[in-house]
Amino acid sequence: MLRFVLSFGALAILTLSPASAITPQQKMETCKFGADNQKLTGAARKTFIAKCMAEDKSPSQPTQ
């Protein structure tokens, strides 16, 4: 049961990550969701969304 919960959680994270967004609109929605989830407002929200939108992590790129 625990494996099912953990794998479902991992799937949800991968599905909601900005890197998996197909269009810029979907990526923006995902970034806004992240900002809402962290309860960010004002300049902190704007900075978070800007950094989120700038991230371009595709699976073919190695992460360091």
* pLDDT value of residue 22: 74
Phi, psi of 17, deg, nearest 5: -70, 145
**Number of independent structural domains in the chain:** 1
Task: State the average pLDDT over residues 39-52.
Answer: 96
Yes or no: say if 52 and 31 are a contact pair by the CB < 8 Å rule: yes
In the structure, what pLDDT confidence band is assigned to residue 57 with cuts at 50, 70 and 90?
A: low
Predicted confidence at residue 14, as pLDDT, reads 52
With respect to residue 62, please indicate whether it lies within any of the assigned structural domains: no
How far apart (Å, rounded) are the C-alpha atoms in residues 50 and 11?
A: 25
Q: 64 in a domain, yes or no?
A: no
The residue type at 47 = T
Q: Is residue 60 in a domain?
A: no
Among 12-16, 29-33, 42-46, 60-64, the least confident range: 60-64
- Please, what is the Cα angle at 32 between 39 and 49, to 5 degrees? 95
With a threshold of 0.95, does the pTM exceed it? Answer: no
pLDDT of residue 32: 96
User: Domain range spanning residue 36?
Assistant: 2-54
